[in-house]
């Protein structure tokens, strides 16, 4: 299972079921702030546009797999 990083203002990009299942279990919205929490882990980034790409680039040196 992947830890999730959601890029955007809130959980609008995911379903309510995913949000409910992952709330307080590795779901975060800020790769810059929370990136160190994912050191050595597999992460999935959900979002769109430049912000998502920027988050992926930031996490490439922290996470095991993006």
Burial class (CB in 10 A: 0-12, 13-18, 19+), 50: exposed
Q: Is the pLDDT of residue 33 over 60?
A: yes
Domain that holds residue 27: 3-59
- Checking if the pLDDT of 53 tops 50, the result is yes
Active site residue 34: yes
The tens digit of pLDDT for each residue in 8-21 reads 545 555 666 666 66
User: Of 3, 30, 42, 54, which residue is the catalytic one?
Assistant: 30
The answer to whether residue 66 sits within a structural domain is: no
11 within a domain of the structure (yes/no) = yes
pTM: 0.64
CB 61 within 8 A of CB 37: no
**Residue 35 clears pLDDT 50, i.e. is over it:** yes
- Structural domain count, the chain: 1
Q: Looking at the predicted structure, is the pLDDT value of residue 28 above 50?
A: yes
Residue 59 has pLDDT above 80, yes or no: yes
- 65 in a structural domain: no
């Amino acid at each position: 299972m992947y830890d999730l990083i959601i890029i955007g203002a809130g959980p609008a990009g995911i379903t309510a079921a995913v949000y409910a299942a992952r709330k307080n279990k590795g779901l975060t919205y800020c790769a810059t702030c929370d990136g160190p929490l994912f050191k050595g882990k597999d992460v999935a980034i959900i979002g769109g546009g430049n912000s998502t790409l920027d988050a992926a680039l930031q996490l490439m040196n922290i996470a095991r797999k993006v």
